[in-house]
Structure 1
Amino acid sequence: MRALLAFNNTVVELNILEICLLGALVFCFFVQLYFSLFVHLKLALIAIKVIPETKKNPISVVICARNESENLQQFLPSILHQEYPDFEVIVVNDRSWDGTADFLKELEKKYAHLKVVTVADGDKFIAGKKFAVTMGIKAASNEWLVFTDADCEPASSNWLAQMQQPLNDSTEIVLGYSPYFKKPGLLNALIRFETFFTAVNYLSFALKGMPYMGVGRNMAYKKSLFFKNKGFAAHMHIPSGDDDLFVNANANNRNTEIRIHKESHVWSEPKISFLAYLRQKKRHFGAGKLYKPKHKFILSMQIIVQFLFYAFIITLLFFPATLYISLGIFALSILIRSFVYPRLLKRLNYGGLSWWFPVLDIILFVFLVLNGILSIFVKKVEWK
């Protein structure tokens, strides 16, 4: 079977293999466009609301720290000095030996709204960070809990005002955004770009009424929701997932909102070595295996379609009859995506990466494939 295709005033004859490959490429192209134009573009165009001045309910900020003395000294003051009338900061010291306990003890004397919870060596049923988070939640005096990490710094003193409990009482979860600080080098650019795409995905799907994850560096939920659904009981056996698995299990289209105002962002320290970053992504990959089936299907399809898109492009380059057609589809894909994602990069505080979007997009794809392969063989992961 052969087919004739008119292209640039030239009739091109295609065989059955070329037709199938080209058809598959076009299919991947349209699936790719669906996510770009009908999921992610909404996040780029939605108006960012300023949280109105309302009755500010009390907040409990929960931070877990394991050997984080230096980070706590650098970043904890910006959390303790938030412009919010009624809040407490709970720091859970999880078996640290680097002077964290001494620093927190001195800080408690200075700040009445700082509460320190200590997880001692030998405590039973310890399961990494989830045990520490649970201890922090139990110690919280307030219903609305805001979470961040020891190596994080709020973008403004109005962070808590932006992450406060919404007026709509049916909202039980608020998903925030946490970019990484800019550092020199390609690794940092890759980390920031990967974080950007992860955020675009989970925030966009939340807007569409299908929230599937959040990041513990910047999120909030009700204390009653945690205990009503037995906390982390369903996945206490794995070291990761205190944030994304909890959201995946408990968020829905009625009880979840997002916050992307610049004052609601929380900046975080990135990994500085490729091996450390790989271990971090391994933990995240392991948690993803426990997502709801529909979420795993959609996320897997995104990666598979992206992989097949590039695979078909490369394959069709070896067929003279489809060379220019495949290059044209690739160029059109980059053009459309370059209309969507640079806008989002600017909106999410990564405007400097806009010019590097096409290159970083390909590098990120290669890294995700590599990470997926390594995750098959490397089983052991730890919090710290």
Structure 2
Amino acid sequence: MAFITILFYAFIVVVIIQVVYYACFLFSFAIKRSETRLKKQIPISVIICAKNEAQNLEKNLPSVLNQDYSNFEIVLVNDSSSDSTLEIMENFASKNSNIKIVDVKSNETFWGNKKYALTLGIKASSNDFLVFTDADCVPTSNLWLSHISSHFSNKESIVLGYGAYAKKKYSFLNKIIRFETVMTAMQYFSYAKLGLPYMGVGRNMAYRKELFFNNRGFNNHINIKSGDDDLFINEVATSSNTALCFSKESFTVSEAKPSFKTWITQKRRHISTARLYKAKHQFLLGVFYITQLMFWILGITLLLTAFPWQWTASLIGLRFIIQWLCIGFTAKKLEETDLIFLAPILEVFLITSQLSIFIANKISKPKHWK
């Protein structure tokens, strides 16, 4: 059998795997409608951990304070900042009785470890229901807390939300970052819908304090500086205790990194935790990424050879149609419709970036919490 024929059969397998993945994403999340079930407002503690975030707090904290919610406190955790973060927190606290400040001093054992600071914030919180966001995030509506908290129930003690990035005109990097965010959200929402929750994003998620302490908090990965969100959720989330909240009113938005260098540094931190996910999650995510990469490598190789291009083009077209349907429905749901028709181009850049990050992480350890 000619080598090129073997490549074609391999390409068929890759396309089938990709189509199956995207079909699962499509039917488990992309075409599902968001459930809006506002109900009695339970006591909530919003926890924001900040390190050198004075400007962001001054700009974004009013949007959290102005939530149309009857019973909530805000726990501001100052993680040994060297700027005026603590002063800004104290200024807000002097004017708002529902703000509590936790000032974390430098600790040699846990230096630079956000999990330590978050744990102190969780301990200081007054309520059992905790909502997490970052200082550089702003809710898209004053109903953010109402929508997130409404998904808690007697069984569901984790709520996964969507943390978007602000759109920036004429910026290709901004589109790559937002495309990667949509792809990640599509996966973690879909896996959770299929009963396999594996991560959440600290920009917008919630869980019960009882769940945190019953699972010994971040103790099992306290020495891993990243993973206060995804590693914890990967450890404690189950098919029965996890709810999804993706109504437009429940989003948070933050500013994307301004340069490729700072974005790559951020993604190196995020990707470094994936090796600690449960084996089944590593396998599923790994197969999806590898087949994405092989789709482009094999597809381009076959098109550049003497192999009948019609067969290759048909398979490429099939996969693109399924992908566009899936990404299209998801992007519309997450208000990222400008990314739909650029999906193939953005995918190539994203896959290339992820491969370079994987190689870089093998060579040296990434930098962590500021």
**TMscore range, shorter length:** over 0.9
Compute the displacement of 1:218 (Å). 0.3
Match of 1:277 in 2: 263
Tell me, in whole angstroms, the C-alpha distance in 1 between the residues paired with 2:75 and 2:133.
11
Go from structure 1 to structure 2 and tell me whether the alpha carbon gap of 1:27 and 1:273 turns closer, same or farther (over 3 Å shift).
same
1:74 aligns with 2:59: yes
What are the ranges of 5 or more consecutive residues in structure 2 without an aligned counterpart?
none
Match of 1:58 in 2: 43
Match of 2:227 in 1: 241
1:114 aligns with 2:99: yes
Match of 2:35 in 1: 49
Given that residues 154 and 267 in structure 1 are in contact (C-alpha distance below 8 angstroms), is that contact kept between their aligned partners in structure 2? yes
Given that residues 37 and 150 in structure 2 are in contact (C-alpha distance below 8 angstroms), is that contact kept between their aligned partners in structure 1? no
Compute the displacement of 1:165 (Å). 5.2
Match of 1:355 in 2: 341
Tell me, in whole angstroms, the C-alpha distance in 2 between the residues paired with 1:380 and 1:280.
9
Given that residues 25 and 186 in structure 2 are in contact (C-alpha distance below 8 angstroms), is that contact kept between their aligned partners in structure 1? no
Choose which of 283, 286, 297 in structure 2 pairs with 1:311.
Answer: 297
Tell me, in whole angstroms, the C-alpha distance in 2 between the residues paired with 1:43 and 1:380.
32
Match of 1:10 in 2: none
Compute the displacement of 1:338 (Å). 1.5
* Sequence identity percentage: 40
Mapping 1:118-129, distance limit 5 Å:
118-122=103-107, 124-126=109-111, 128-129=113-114
Given that residues 181 and 270 in structure 1 are in contact (C-alpha distance below 8 angstroms), is that contact kept between their aligned partners in structure 2? yes
Match of 1:226 in 2: 212
Q: Which amino acid aligns with 1:154?
A: P
Tell me, in whole angstroms, the C-alpha distance in 1 between the residues paired with 2:358 and 2:106.
34
Given that residues 24 and 190 in structure 2 are in contact (C-alpha distance below 8 angstroms), is that contact kept between their aligned partners in structure 1? no
Tell me, in whole angstroms, the C-alpha distance in 1 between the residues paired with 2:49 and 2:77.
5
Go from structure 1 to structure 2 and tell me whether the alpha carbon gap of 1:325 and 1:104 turns closer, same or farther (over 3 Å shift).
same
What are the ranges of 5 or more consecutive residues in structure 1 without an aligned counterpart?
1-14
Match of 1:28 in 2: 14
Tell me, in whole angstroms, the C-alpha distance in 2 between the residues paired with 1:117 and 1:124.
18
Range 337-346 or range 228-237, more displaced: 337-346
Compute the displacement of 1:300 (Å). 0.6
Given that residues 67 and 97 in structure 1 are in contact (C-alpha distance below 8 angstroms), is that contact kept between their aligned partners in structure 2? yes
1:37 aligns with 2:27: no
Given that residues 71 and 150 in structure 1 are in contact (C-alpha distance below 8 angstroms), is that contact kept between their aligned partners in structure 2? yes
Mapping 1:275-354, distance limit 5 Å:
275-354=261-340
Match of 1:7 in 2: none
Q: Relative contact order: is structure 1 or structure 2 higher (C-alpha 8 Å, sep ≥ 6)?
A: 2
Compute the displacement of 1:167 (Å). 5.5
Go from structure 1 to structure 2 and tell me whether the alpha carbon gap of 1:165 and 1:226 turns closer, same or farther (over 3 Å shift).
farther
The Cα offsets for residues 200-226 of structure 1, whole Å up to 9 and x where unpaired, read as 000110011100000000000000110
Given that residues 202 and 214 in structure 1 are in contact (C-alpha distance below 8 angstroms), is that contact kept between their aligned partners in structure 2? yes
Compute the displacement of 1:121 (Å). 2.6
Given that residues 170 and 255 in structure 1 are in contact (C-alpha distance below 8 angstroms), is that contact kept between their aligned partners in structure 2? yes
Compute the displacement of 1:319 (Å). 2.8
Tell me, in whole angstroms, the C-alpha distance in 1 between the residues paired with 2:92 and 2:325.
48
Match of 2:240 in 1: 254
Q: Which amino acid aligns with 1:70?
A: Q
The Cα offsets for residues 170-228 of structure 1, whole Å up to 9 and x where unpaired, read as 11100000110012311111101001100100011001110000000000000011000
Given that residues 151 and 245 in structure 2 are in contact (C-alpha distance below 8 angstroms), is that contact kept between their aligned partners in structure 1? no
The Cα offsets for residues 59-94 of structure 1, whole Å up to 9 and x where unpaired, read as 000000000000000100100111011000001001
The Cα offsets for residues 322-341 of structure 1, whole Å up to 9 and x where unpaired, read as 33321221122212211221
Mapping 1:177-256, distance limit 5 Å:
177-184=162-169, 185-256=171-242
Alignment partner of 2:342: what SS?
A: helix
Go from structure 1 to structure 2 and tell me whether the alpha carbon gap of 1:46 and 1:307 turns closer, same or farther (over 3 Å shift).
same
Tell me, in whole angstroms, the C-alpha distance in 1 between the residues paired with 2:62 and 2:274.
33
Choose which of 138, 154, 158 in structure 1 pairs with 2:123.
Answer: 138
Given that residues 342 and 357 in structure 1 are in contact (C-alpha distance below 8 angstroms), is that contact kept between their aligned partners in structure 2? no
Alignment partner of 1:183: what SS?
A: coil
1:162 aligns with 2:147: yes
Match of 1:85 in 2: 70
Q: Which amino acid aligns with 1:205?
A: Y
Tell me, in whole angstroms, the C-alpha distance in 2 between the residues paired with 1:370 and 1:126.
29
Given that residues 47 and 132 in structure 2 are in contact (C-alpha distance below 8 angstroms), is that contact kept between their aligned partners in structure 1? yes
Range 316-325 or range 111-120, more displaced: 316-325
Tell me, in whole angstroms, the C-alpha distance in 2 between the residues paired with 1:315 and 1:324.
14
Given that residues 127 and 237 in structure 1 are in contact (C-alpha distance below 8 angstroms), is that contact kept between their aligned partners in structure 2? no
Given that residues 18 and 322 in structure 1 are in contact (C-alpha distance below 8 angstroms), is that contact kept between their aligned partners in structure 2? no
Tell me, in whole angstroms, the C-alpha distance in 2 between the residues paired with 1:132 and 1:209.
31
Q: Which amino acid aligns with 1:177?
A: Y
What is the CA RMSD across the aligned residues, in angstroms?
A: 1.4
Given that residues 218 and 265 in structure 1 are in contact (C-alpha distance below 8 angstroms), is that contact kept between their aligned partners in structure 2? yes
Range 93-102 or range 80-89, more displaced: 93-102
Go from structure 1 to structure 2 and tell me whether the alpha carbon gap of 1:297 and 1:359 turns closer, same or farther (over 3 Å shift).
same
